[in-house]
A and B are shown apart, each in its own frame.
Chain A
Amino acid sequence: MAPHADQKYIIALLNNDSQVIAEIYVLFSKRIKHLVESNHGDADDACDVFQEALIAISRQIKRPGFALTCSFETYLWCVCRGKWINELKRRRRTTVTIWQASGYMAPEDAEMLAEVTLREENNSLLFHQCFEQLSAGCRRLLQLAWSGISMGKVSQQLGITYGFARKRKSECAAMLVHKIKAAKGESPLDTRNEE
């Protein structure tokens, strides 16, 4: 399947190509500004939404198997809309049916791609937040262990025995999963001590 004509914007976000990224702003920012300002937001909100959407897209396109199947503008618009709806929910505003208000209906593939992007972005933020809640020792251990080096080298670097490193790694992993589940409201947080 041939890459979409707007693939250049995906490549620009992958490579931090400032010129093409500037083009994204020139071509697409006005519409997003109108979207947000017409729905209880201001220029600052629009700026934040646009930036966060581009960051979310830049993360999504790094996932294996990503393919742009719609216009970049539509994809970006859907991601921005989704972000703004979430923000309005967070601010406890009744959601305006933005897509009806704007009179614009995005193609289904753009909607699906945006939905996946937003879900992955939310997960990414959640994982990061839960990871940061672990102790410094756990964070260091998991970062080393998951970087691809052997547990033997990990235990050497941390100055602990191999057996203790393996045991501690599974404990820290368990704590991380418990925190993620608790954040998603799936199970009460485990009260075991980390240290």
Chain B
Amino acid sequence: MDNFSRIEDYLDGLMTDSERRAFEADLRTDPSLASDLAYLHEAREGLTRQWAHSEQQTELVKILKPLGKQHFGPPARPLRARLQNALWGLAAVITAGLILWLVWNRQAPKRLPVAPMLFARHFRPSLDFGVARSVDGSNADTLAQVEQAYKNGDYACARTLLFARSENATGHSSFVFLQIGQLYLLGNQPDSARLALAKVETGYSQQRDWYLAMSALAANDPIQAKIRLERLAAVAGPFQKEAQEIFDALE
């Protein structure tokens, strides 16, 4: 039987009398046995005591902690001094907040969006009814009505007449849609202008791009405007220089 089995039996009182006497005799002659016994006995006693009182120890710690904070923490300042400090602190916060508010809300000139400003500066309708008349003389009366409506500022009426004309005319729908697009822009309807201008096909591509750029500017869509303007600025034509100017202004 190994030492620790004998030690355990000895500490548990499980030995017979003769076994106990033999063990105690060995203790006197074997220092390592004696040492192991002493250690195990002490460890057993200590650990079983700890386990028996662990709950009480936990409760004790709960009592000690707040007392420690109370007696070893920084000394509490008198109530008057604390109230004074609190008031000063509040005053400082209010003052800082006020200063921030004043700086934040300082009246600065409101800046208008850039794109609509550029539209207002650069848009010029080029409705040439003389050209329209020469292209299709058979609808001269309708065209005269359109011109009259345009001069009266009745852009909706002018558009309606032009729409009716474009259904009947052949080979000139692109020119008509170019005019309709401009009439929509004059009537502050850039999205409708885009739809009409999208129907402009060959022969008027630069004008189409120009008025599509104008539509995008009026709709405050600088990205779309720049796409059209970049294309115009890259091609020699009547809109090249101005397109580059507007493109740079949008940067």
Contact = CB atoms under 8 A, between A and B. Distances in A.
Given A171-B4, A173-B7, A176-B43, A55 B60 contact: yes
A46 B69 CA distance: 11
Contact of A147 (B48, B56, B71): B48
A23 to B, nearest CB: 10
A123 B70 CA distance: 31
A177 B43 contact: yes
Nearest to B5: A170
Contact of A131 (B7, B47, B59, B61): B47
B74 interface: yes
Interface in B44-68: 44, 46-51, 53, 56-57, 59-61, 63-65, 67-68
Interface string B23-38: 0000000000000100
Given A170-B5, A170-B8, A13 B68 contact: no
A25 B60 contact: no
Contacts of B2: 170, 174
Interface residues of B, number: 35
Interface string A33-51: 1000000000110111011
Contact of B4 (A44, A173, A180): A173
Contact of A43 (B5, B60, B64, B73): B73
Interface residues of A, number: 45
A124 interface: yes
Main secondary structure of the interface of A (DSSP, over half): helix
A128 interface: yes
Contacts of A26: 71
Nearest to A177: B39
Contacts of A50: 68, 72
A33 B73 CA distance: 11
Contacts, number: 103
Nearest to B51: A143
B67 to A, nearest CB: 5
B59 A16 contact: yes
Interface stretch (A58-66, A91-99, A106-114): A58-66
A148 B51 CA distance: 13
A166 to B, nearest CB: 7
B13 to A, nearest CB: 11
A48 B73 CA distance: 12
Contact of A127 (B43, B57, B68): B43
Contacts of A143: 51
B242 to A, nearest CB: 76
Contact of A29 (B8, B59, B61, B71): B71
A30 to B, nearest CB: 8
27 contacts: A13-B60, A16-B60, A25-B68, A26-B71, A29-B71, A30-B71, A33-B72, A43-B74, A47-B73, A50-B72, A51-B64, A55-B61, A59-B57, A62-B53, A124-B46, A131-B47, A142-B47, A146-B44, A147-B48, A147-B51, A166-B8, A170-B2, A170-B5, A173-B8, A174-B2, A177-B4, A180-B39
Q: A-B pairs with the 6 shortest C-beta distances?
A: A47-B72, A170-B4, A170-B5, A174-B4, A47-B68, A29-B71
Interface of A: 13, 16, 18, 21-22, 25-26, 29-30, 33, 43-44, 46-48, 50-51, 54-55, 58-59, 62-63, 120, 123-124, 127-128, 130-131, 142-143, 146-147, 166-167, 169-171, 173-174, 176-177, 180-181
Given A123-B42, A170-B2, 11 more contacts: A21-B63, A25-B67, A30-B71, A33-B72, A43-B72, A47-B71, A47-B73, A59-B50, A146-B48, A169-B8, A171-B4
Interface of B: 2-5, 7-8, 36, 39-40, 42-44, 46-51, 53, 56-57, 59-61, 63-65, 67-74
